[in-house]
Amino acid sequence: MKTTTSKSATKKPAAKAGNGKTSNGKTSNGSSHGNHSNDNHSKLRKLFEDELKDIYWAEKALVKAIPKMIKKATSEELVEALEHHLEETEGHVERCEKVFELLDKTAQAKKCEAMDGLLTEAEDIMSESDEGVMRDAGIISAAQKVEHYEIATYGTLRTFAKTLGLTEIADLLQETLDEEKKADETLTSVAESAINVQAAQTNEEEEEVEAKAR
């Protein structure tokens, strides 16, 4: 009589997928994609907070710089536009502080080298330009460079906030972004309405005088 030998039911190792994963969704070294995703999320959050500290410093610096532009400007339209944006900028400082609060962080400014450079350039333009339309044109040029930097920064911060799921913060940043874009449009309108034309005429007159003096 033959006896039947039963085969031992040995467990097979989990099959590996072609990308190095086992069938349980983990990588061959036991780590999961979730850890990698969380790490990226944490790094983006840190980058977001660093950029926020930069723009917070920039806004506070502008609160001190814009009054100097107002004092040097001669065009009523330009003065009015700068005064209006100064009020907005003070609000931007408060909005940044609100964002820090929502992040459960203490509001902290980190020197923004880019803005510091732009404001130094603005000081140079105002000191080197002749008083009147030429200086006004220079102020607009400097102010718009500042606006373009802020538009780029707030656009990036808003996108980061959306990616991180910070909806309320993204909405606050969008408000500031909209105001920066409007300020830039206003400066363009002021320049095109009269200042650039007058500056060009003044420059032509000066060139004529110099040509006659030769």
Tokens, residue 203: 């420059």
Does residue 17 form part of some domain?
no
Domain-located, residue 34: no
pLDDT reading at 207 higher than 90: no
Question: Residue 17 gets which letter from DSSP?
Answer: P
Q: Three-state SS for 28? A: coil
Whether residue 120 is contained in a domain is answered as yes
Q: pLDDT at residue 211 above 70?
A: no
What secondary structure does DSSP assign to 127-162, as a single string? Answer: HHSPTTHHHHHHHHHHHHHHHHHHHHHHHHHHHHHH
**Is 26 a member of any domain?**
no
Residue with tokens 């004092």: 71
Q: Is 182 exposed, middle or buried (0-12, 13-18, 19+ CB in 10 A)?
A: middle
- Looking at the predicted structure, is the pLDDT value of residue 94 above 50? yes
Quote the number of domains for the chain: 1
168: CATH: 1.20.1260.10
> Over the chain, what is the mean pLDDT?
85
Confidence (pLDDT) at 195: 74
Residue range(s) defining the domain that contains residue 117: 40-213
- Predicted TM-score of the model (pTM): 0.77
Please give the pLDDT value at position 196. 64
**pLDDT of residue 82 exceeding 80:** yes
| CA distance linking residue 3 with residue 175, whole number of Å | 84
Specify the 3-state DSSP secondary structure of 209.
helix
pLDDT computed for residue 204 by the predictor? 58
Provide the pLDDT for residue 39: 83
Cα 214 to Cα 195: distance, rounded to the nearest angstrom: 29
Q: Please check whether residue 20 lies inside any domain of the structure.
A: no
Give the tokens for residue 210: 């110099």
- Is 1 a member of any domain? no
What's residue 2's pLDDT? 46
- Dist. CA 124–CA 65, nearest whole Å: 13
Question: Residue 115 domain-assigned?
Answer: yes
Query: Comparing C-alpha atoms, which of 141, 149, 63 is closest to residue 114?
Result: 149
Residue 8 pLDDT grade (very low, low, confident, very high; cuts 50, 70, 90): very low
The confidence band for 34, taking pLDDT boundaries of 50, 70 and 90, is low
- Determine the residue type at 165: G
pLDDT digits (tens, 9 = 90+) for 41-80: 899 999 999 999 999 999 999 999 999 999 999 999 999 9
- Tally Cβ neighbours within 10 Å of residue 82: 26
Interval 185-197 mean pLDDT: 86
Q: Cβ atoms within 10 A of the Cβ of 181, count?
A: 16
Question: Do the domain assignments include residue 9?
Answer: no
Q: At what angle do helices 167-190 and 133-163 cross, to 10 degrees?
A: 160
C-alpha separations of 126 from 18, 111, 140, 199 in Å: 64, 23, 10, 14
71: Cβ contacts below 8 Å, ≥ 6 apart: none
